[in-house]
């Protein structure tokens, strides 16, 4: 019996250590939100959604979804776009795929929402992959499975101690009783020392985790302050009459020698960054005598573009510049614009290049000419 108790204790401790070190899949997410602020379209609010791999195993093909009940997504920004693919955004939902999410790795996305009236509520965040579903981050404590194993260990010790006392009364020789009594404290002391060492290690890990949370909270607070300062600066510039995209384009058209094209652009509806690039491309094809002016105008608009302009629109207009230079036979400049598009907006570049063979400028010019002739008739 004196050998059975230590063997059982060693087995139970081994089981606890095995549960601690076995592979785990865990995804946690946090949501940080700003105060509601006024916007040209009503009210606005931005949210910082942070996703981290809290397990000890890489997760593949994480399907991330951020969905809002009210409001419209104005813009978004990932902290590390290299971790994402297949990013799609609608008025109320942003989705993306994380092809490979390593242990301890994290990614965050800042989403700015606008709405006609408040309040704008926190989004519904979903992060799913094979074998794991993301859950809200909470206070890290003693894992349930470890608590259960420790409880089972203590229960087992209690049962073995009771059984040992009962069995001791059945021993016939006083030497065996004395030996068992003498060995029991030493074994109990060793077991207690092991338990105390494990508890000390757990306490140290909890302290380290607390420090990491404090550092992450500090970083999030600094980012929130930057966003607030950016918003305040934007509001201050707006109050002082900062020129908007329409006014910038008006001045650029005048400087480029095509002031007569501004009324034509306005007939295309709301003035948008990417739409202006497409308009200049059409005008370039139909007015070859002033082709230099249209290229110059789009180049200057790219240089003076606002920071609020999306990366996809920047990539689209770089592609338009490349196509115009390609049409004029200026291959080196066209290649430079295509490479810049690939560098700044790789997903937009891949999307446009897949359909590049069907974007025939000569055919487009013929179609525009026919439409113009039909309109004159």
Instruction: Please indicate, yes or no, whether residues 105 and 43 belong to a single structural domain of this protein.
Output: yes
- Residue 101 sits in a domain whose CATH number is 2.60.40.1170
CB burial of residue 279 (10 Å; 0-12, 13-18, 19+): buried
Contact between 97 and 63 under an 8 Å Cβ cutoff? The reply is yes
Q: What is the pTM of this model?
A: 0.41
239 part of a folded domain: no
The rounded distance, in Å, linking the Cα atoms of 375 and 119 is: 48
Instruction: Please indicate, yes or no, whether residues 149 and 15 belong to a single structural domain of this protein.
Output: yes
233 part of a folded domain: no
Q: At what angle do helices 4-21 and 174-239 cross, to 10 degrees?
A: 10
Instruction: Please indicate, yes or no, whether residues 146 and 11 belong to a single structural domain of this protein.
Output: yes
Phi, psi of 188 (to 5 degrees): -65, -40
Q: What is the pLDDT along the chain (377 residues), one digit of tens a residue?
A: 556 666 766 776 676 676 667 778 889 999 999 888 888 888 888 899 999 998 889 999 999 999 998 888 989 999 998 999 999 999 889 999 999 999 989 999 999 989 887 788 889 999 999 989 999 987 554 455 555 666 666 666 665 655 665 566 677 676 777 677 677 777 778 888 999 999 999 999 999 999 999 999 898 999 888 888 877 876 787 788 778 888 889 999 999 999 999 999 999 988 899 999 999 999 999 999 999 999 999 999 988 765 668 899 999 999 999 999 999 999 999 999 999 999 999 999 999 999 999 899 999 999 999 988 888 87
Contact between 289 and 328 under an 8 Å Cβ cutoff? The reply is no
Instruction: Please indicate, yes or no, whether residues 123 and 195 belong to a single structural domain of this protein.
Output: no
Instruction: Please indicate, yes or no, whether residues 255 and 358 belong to a single structural domain of this protein.
Output: yes
Instruction: Please indicate, yes or no, whether residues 10 and 153 belong to a single structural domain of this protein.
Output: yes
Q: What is the predicted pLDDT for the residue at 349?
A: 96
Instruction: Please indicate, yes or no, whether residues 91 and 222 belong to a single structural domain of this protein.
Output: no
Q: Please measure the distance between the N-terminal and C-terminal CA atoms of the chain and give it in whole angstroms.
A: 109
Instruction: Please indicate, yes or no, whether residues 12 and 74 belong to a single structural domain of this protein.
Output: no
Q: Where does a domain end: 176, 201, 228?
A: 228
Contact between 47 and 113 under an 8 Å Cβ cutoff? The reply is yes
Q: What is the predicted pLDDT for the residue at 128?
A: 95
235 part of a folded domain: no
Give, as one character, the DSSP assignment of residue 243. -
- The residues facing 78 across adjacent strands are 109
Contact between 337 and 322 under an 8 Å Cβ cutoff? The reply is yes
Range of the domain at 102: 27-133
Q: Vertex 4, ends 2 and 7: CA angle to 5°?
A: 115
Q: Where does a domain end: 133, 157, 180?
A: 133
Q: What is the predicted pLDDT for the residue at 119?
A: 83
Instruction: Please indicate, yes or no, whether residues 294 and 348 belong to a single structural domain of this protein.
Output: yes
Contact between 73 and 120 under an 8 Å Cβ cutoff? The reply is no
Report how many domains make up the chain.
3
Instruction: Please indicate, yes or no, whether residues 212 and 317 belong to a single structural domain of this protein.
Output: no
């Amino acid at each position: 019996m004196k050998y059975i108790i230590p063997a059982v204790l060693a087995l139970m401790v081994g089981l606890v250590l095995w549960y601690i070190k076995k592979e785990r899949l865990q995804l946690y997410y946090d949501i940080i939100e700003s105060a509601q602020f006024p916007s040209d379209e009503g009210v606005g609010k931005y949210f910082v959604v942070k996703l981290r791999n809290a397990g000890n195993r890489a997760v593949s093909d994480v399907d991330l979804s951020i969905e809002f009940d009210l409001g419209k997504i104005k813009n978004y920004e990932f902290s590390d776009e290299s971790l994402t693919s297949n990013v799609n955004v609608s008025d109320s939902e942003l989705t993306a795929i994380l092809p490979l999410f390593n242990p301890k790795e994290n990614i965050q996305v800042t989403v700015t929402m606008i709405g006609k009236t408040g309040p704008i509520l926190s989004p519904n965040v979903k992060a799913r992959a094979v074998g794991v579903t993301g859950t809200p981050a909470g206070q890290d404590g003693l894992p349930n499975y470890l608590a259960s194993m420790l409880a089972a260990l203590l229960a087992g010790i209690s049962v073995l101690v009771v059984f040992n006392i009962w069995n001791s009364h059945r021993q016939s020789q006083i030497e065996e009783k004395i030996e068992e009594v003498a060995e029991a404290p030493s074994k109990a002391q060793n077991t207690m020392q092991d338990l105390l060492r494990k508890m000390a290690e757990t306490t140290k890990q909890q302290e380290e985790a607390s420090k990491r949370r404090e550092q992450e909270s500090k970083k999030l607070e600094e980012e929130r302050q930057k966003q607030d300062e950016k918003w305040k600066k934007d509001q201050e510039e707006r109050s002082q009459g900062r020129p908007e995209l329409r006014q910038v384009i008006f001045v650029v058209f005048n400087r480029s020698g095509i002031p007569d094209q501004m009324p034509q652009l306005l007939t295309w509806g709301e003035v948008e960054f990417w739409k202006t690039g497409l308009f200049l491309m059409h005008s370039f094809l139909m007015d070859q005598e002033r082709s230099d002016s249209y290229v110059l105008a789009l180049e200057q608009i790219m240089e003076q573009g606002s920071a609020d302009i999306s990366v996809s629109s920047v990539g689209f207009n770089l592609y338009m510049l490349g196509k115009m230079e390609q049409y004029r036979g200026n291959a080196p400049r066209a290649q430079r614009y295509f490479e810049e598009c690939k560098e700044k907006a790789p997903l937009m570049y891949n999307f446009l290049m897949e359909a590049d063979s069907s974007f025939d400028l000569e055919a487009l010019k013929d179609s525009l000419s026919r439409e113009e002739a039909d309109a004159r008739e």
